[in-house]
Amino acid sequence: MHKPLAGIRVLELARILAGPWIGQLLADLGADVVKVERPGVGDDTRTWGPPFVEAADGGRLSASYFHSTNRGKRSVAADFETEAGRAVVRRLAGHADVMIENFKVGGLRKYGLDHEALRAVNPRLITCSVTGFGQDGPYAPRAGYDFMIQGVGGIMSITGEPAGEPVKTAVAFADVFTGVYGATAILAALQGRHATGQGCHIDMALLDTQVSVLGNQALVYLVSGMLPPRMGNEHTSIVPYQVFPAADGHIIVACGNDGQFAKLCGVLGTAWHRDPAYATNPGRVTHRAALIPLIAAETGRHTKADLLARLTAVNVPVGPINDLAEVFADPQVVHRGLRLDLPEPRARAGSVPSVRSPIVIDGVPMVAATAAPQVGDHTESVLADPDWGG
Classify residue 323 as left (phi > 0), alpha (psi -120 to 50) or beta.
beta
Question: Which is nearest to 151 in space by CA: 166, 161, 140?
Answer: 166
| Positive/negative CA dihedral, 133, 137, 141, 142 | negative
* Active-site residue (options: 43, 175, 208, 377): 175
Q: In angstroms, rounded to a whole number, what is the distance separating the alpha carbons of residues 189 and 198?
A: 9
**Do 365 and 337 meet the contact criterion of CB atoms below 8 Å apart?**
yes
Assess whether 175 carries a catalytic annotation.
yes
Q: In angstroms, rounded to a whole number, what is the distance separating the alpha carbons of residues 210 and 132?
A: 10
Looking at residue 26, the DSSP 8-state letter turns out to be: H
User: Which residues on neighbouring strands pair with residue 351, listed in sequence order?
Assistant: 343
The CA radius of gyration of the chain, in Å to the nearest whole number, is 25
- Which helix (H) or strand (E) element contains residue 75? strand 73-77
The catalytic residue positions are: 175
